[in-house]
Amino acid sequence: MGRKFFVGGNWKCNGTTEDVKKIVSTLNAGELPSTDVVEVVVSPPFVFLTTVKSELRPEIQVAAQNCWVKKGGAFTGEVSAEMLANLGVPWVILGHSERRALLQETNEFVGDKVAYALSQGLKVIACVGETLEQREAGTTMEVVAAQTKAIADKISCWDDVVLAYEPVWAIGTGKVASPGQAQEVHAGLRKWFEENISAEVAATTRIIYGGSVSGSNCKELAGQQDVDGFLVGGASLKPEFIDIIKAAEVK
């Protein structure tokens, strides 16, 4: 099937010019597997995107952490997909749970965002995931299927989408979904693709895991059949991000 391992680093709302220089120099000096083995994308805040893009080694791509749902215009404080494309930023993260929770982005709104970003030539890391309450109520698959369906309803091609499963209860909490829990949801999402989109989309779409991924747990997670990579938060700001990228070699 040949799904290339994908590692994304989401820097979130962190960093100063000095911090960014340090992270970039660490990544530039790191020994990484070849681009045949792993695709690596880092996502700095908007204000650092162009700096990081110009100073980072060419085999690591950049992503924005968000973009507006339609064409730019009178939307103060927003950044449009057209602007990102114009800057040569290839990727954007959409539907992150922090935006869903703090800014009330609905499943439908996220679906619209994904469709618009794709229409402007961007590739998308689309995030889904359940809260602790939803997991304890046994509705995990229902929740992530509904989030995925809202995207599927708006797009016809999944070639430029990576789906990131991020259990909300594991983001930044130090709690990690066990490799078995992660595999179960990833397999469930792949089955959903097979039953609702096509066997081809199920086989080729990369489903990556996010939620307290670290240098110490990445290899075991990477060994799961349906885990095609990671979306890394806090650890992507540290040298251990290199170790997480190297987990691609487990495959």
At 81-140, the pLDDT tens digits run 999 999 999 999 999 999 999 999 999 999 999 999 999 999 999 999 999 999 999 999
For residue 142, which phi and psi values (nearest 5 degrees)? -60, -45
| Token pair recorded at residue 150 | 């809202």
Residue 205 has pLDDT above 90, yes or no: yes
Question: 9 forms bridges with which residues in the sheet?
Answer: 42, 232
Q: Based on the residue annotation, tell me whether 194 is a catalytic residue of this protein.
A: no
Cβ atoms 85, 115 nearer than 8 A: no
Burial class (CB in 10 A: 0-12, 13-18, 19+), 156: exposed
Q: Based on the residue annotation, tell me whether 186 is a catalytic residue of this protein.
A: no
Q: 173 pLDDT band (50/70/90 cuts)? A: confident
**Residue 36 CB neighbour total at 10 angstroms:** 7
Active-site residue, from 96, 98, 105, 130: 96
Q: 167 pLDDT band (50/70/90 cuts)? A: very high
For residue 8, which phi and psi values (nearest 5 degrees)? -110, 140
pLDDT at 222: 98
**pLDDT tens per residue, range 44-72:** 999 999 999 999 999 999 999 999 999 99
pLDDT at 147: 98
Mean pLDDT, range 153-170, rounded to an integer = 97
Instruction: Give how far Cα 132 sits from Cα of 10, 25, 218, Å.
Output: 22, 37, 22
Beta strand pairing call for 161-165 and 91-94:
unpaired
Q: Is 39 left (phi over 0), alpha (psi -120 to 50) or beta?
A: beta
pLDDT at 251: 86
Active-site residue, from 39, 130, 166, 186: 166
Residue 152 has pLDDT above 90, yes or no: yes
* Residue 153 DSSP symbol: T
Nearest to 162 by CA among 204, 199, 115: 204
Q: How far apart are CA 49 and CA 46, in angstroms?
A: 5
Residue 1 has pLDDT above 60, yes or no: no
Mean pLDDT, range 158-187, rounded to an integer = 95
H or E element at residue 173: none
* Residues contacting residue 215 through CB under 8 Å, at least 6 positions apart: 235, 240, 243, 244
With H, G, I as helix, E, B as strand and everything else as coil, classify residue 170. helix
**Residue 78 CB neighbour total at 10 angstroms:** 14
* Residues contacting residue 32 through CB under 8 Å, at least 6 positions apart: 38, 40, 59, 60, 242, 245, 246
| Token pair recorded at residue 87 | 């800057």
Residue 21 has pLDDT above 80, yes or no: yes
Residue 145 has pLDDT above 90, yes or no: yes
pLDDT at 204: 98
Q: How far apart are CA 233 and CA 108, in angstroms?
A: 25
pLDDT at 243: 98
pLDDT at 2: 85
Q: How far apart are CA 242 and CA 145, in angstroms?
A: 32
Percent of the chain at pLDDT above 70?
100
pTM: 0.98
